[in-house]
Amino acid sequence: MRACRGARPRCLAFLLHDNDKWGPLLPRVRPRPATGPDRARACISVASMASDATVVWTDRFLDYSWTPTHPMKPARLRFTMALARGLGLLEGIETLSPEPAAEADLLRVHAPAYLDAVRRARPAPPGSGPPVAPPFGLGSDDNPVFPRMHEAASVIVGGTLAAAGEIAAGRTRRAVSIGGGMHHAMPAAAAGFCIYNDVAVAISWLLDHGFDRIAYVDVDVHHGDGVQRAFYDDPRVLTVSIHQHPATLWPNTGWPEESGGGAAEGTAINLAMLPGTRDAQWLRGFHAVVPGALAAFRPQLLISQCGVDTHREDPLADLDLTVDGQRAAFVAMRELADRYAEGRWLAVGGGGYGLIRVVPRAWTHLLATALDRDLHPGTEIPAEWLEQVRAYAPAVRPPHTMSDGGDTDFARWDGPGGAPETGDARADRAQRAVDTAVLATRRATFGLLGLDPEDPRD
């Protein structure tokens, strides 16, 4: 999710500024607030139940707003919801409005001293620059302090907890909170634009509320290090991360050999993709690893971190996916949840810094997939939405359909021998690289799950 390149990256300062003068670009909704002693649970409408999916949303997600030059901007969420509404995806769907996470839930993952530091943090005076060694990771270029940071980050966690609560209570099988996905936050440190680790908090909560086998699949371009660390020694949680190779991108973790500790060996799975990996190769790798792992683990719930900084236009990473490939990944995860997780699927957002051309379309596809209202890739973008984004960023050429024209056809992995050569030297080279990565991952973990690393049927 962190949007910086390389081992010693610096955040880019040339991206679009988020300016309050534009105001919210979507109509105000009147969601039902959470009620009762368990604020992770909230009322949802009959319409939401009819679609068997819940959308978690509050305008308070937009308060998670860094400095004007920071790559992660609330505009990406605002434009996503505006596009989803403009396409009619949310018609008849009453969104679930979360409350901030309680301190007791934040303490499931984070140290008391860290929570206190976040509460006390204040923005640095103008011109002072970031501290040389920022305490708790706060005040760095990546994680600058912003007003009411604790409150904003707590609402993000509350959103993911609300989604978890709906699934745990049996009120829905699927839930989406695009505001979540802060997978880098550590027990006592902010990292990679993440203050509190909403996913880790939600998994911990679910483990205390009737679940004992939870699978987490992270498709962000950056390794899901914070979630992996939280459950590295816990055999009840399977973490799978598919990310850009750690030798080429922060946080420089997520090697195949990171496979879980103690009784949890085999429950941390990492598939590292080389820069330039395209849709077909990425999907080949995904399907060579994820279905077999889920079949062996037999989760009661699938949680997906759906960062979209894997896109070829993302300014801060080096994979080469399109919106079409990302859509194919979301559809695959829905199908895997239906097949292996009793239909239970909790999806959150994550990274993605193509504020206009990428994130809104990709996460609108995510919402459509969860709601079983799949959008044809050729669907045209509403004119009203185009007007909104042109007003926000006149210099950016907006997309006009829900597709990049990407090719999502892929050859399934069929064992160590590899696929036949196609005659396309670049594609063949990329496929060999993915097959090498697949074998490294399967050999590091599949045997520990009782699977044959070299048998494509596993």
The DSSP result for 259-298, as a single string, is ---GGGTTSEEEEEEPTT-BHHHHHHHHHHHHHHHHHHH-
d(Cα 16, Cα 307) in Å, to the nearest integer? 19
Phi, psi of 431 (to 5 degrees): -70, -40
**Tokens describing residue 336:** 């895997």
- Is residue 71 within 8 A of residue 353, CB to CB? The reply is yes
d(Cα 173, Cα 91) in Å, to the nearest integer? 19
Residue with tokens 């745990």: 168
Residue with tokens 């929570």: 115
**Can you give the length of the chain in residues?**
458
Phi, psi of 272 (to 5 degrees): -105, 120
Residue with tokens 């911990």: 204
CA 446 to chain centre: 24
User: Is 184 a catalytic site residue?
Assistant: yes
d(Cα 135, Cα 170) in Å, to the nearest integer? 41
DSSP state of 186: B
* CA neighbor of 287 nearest in space, from 124, 376, 385, 408: 408
DSSP state of 99: P
**Tokens describing residue 81:** 């919801």
| Max Cα distance, the chain (Å) | 63
- Is residue 203 within 8 A of residue 303, CB to CB? The reply is yes
- Within 13 Å of residue 330, how many CA atoms lie on the same side as its CB? 30
Given the residues 70, 110, 150, 184, the one annotated as active site: 184
Q: How far is CA 201 from CA 208, 303, 306, 308, 424, in A?
A: 11, 12, 17, 22, 46
- Residues designated catalytic: 184
